[in-house]
Amino acid sequence: MQGRILIIPLNGRGKCWLEPVNMNIHMYTRTRLIERDGFVFYNVTGTRVEYDISGLRLRFDNLFDGVKALGK
């Protein structure tokens, strides 16, 4: 991650953890029935995904690239 918070540079590599709060996902598919060798299959011709999230919890490790004074 690279960036700034006011004048403090953010430049680090590490693990990221995130947890969505009250997340709803709706997936829509468009299909056609096809027949092959006497069997009928669904053929997906299109998809659409919609989602709503009311909150997100985040944690970034090593955000200041190991500089302990900035991490406190």
Contact (Cβ atoms closer than 8 angstroms) between residue 19 and residue 61? no
Q: How many domains does the structure of the chain reveal?
A: 1
Instruction: Give the residue carrying structure tokens 């468009």.
Output: 30
pLDDT tens, residue by residue, 15-71? 889 999 999 999 999 999 999 999 999 999 999 999 999 999 988 887 766 666 665
Does residue 32 fall inside a structural domain?
yes
pTM confidence score: 0.50
Q: Is residue 11 part of a domain?
A: yes
Q: How far is Cα 65 from Cα 31, in angstroms, rounded to an integer?
A: 48
Per DSSP bridges, beta strands 8-11 and 2-5 are: antiparallel
For residue 20, give the nearest of 60, 59, 55, 52 by alpha carbon: 55
Of 4 and 20, the structure prediction assigns the larger pLDDT to 20
Q: Is 70 within the bounds of a domain?
A: no
Position 65 in a domain: no
* Domain boundaries, position 13: 2-60
Please report whether residue 45 resides in a domain: yes
22 part of a folded domain: yes
Q: Is residue 68 part of a domain?
A: no
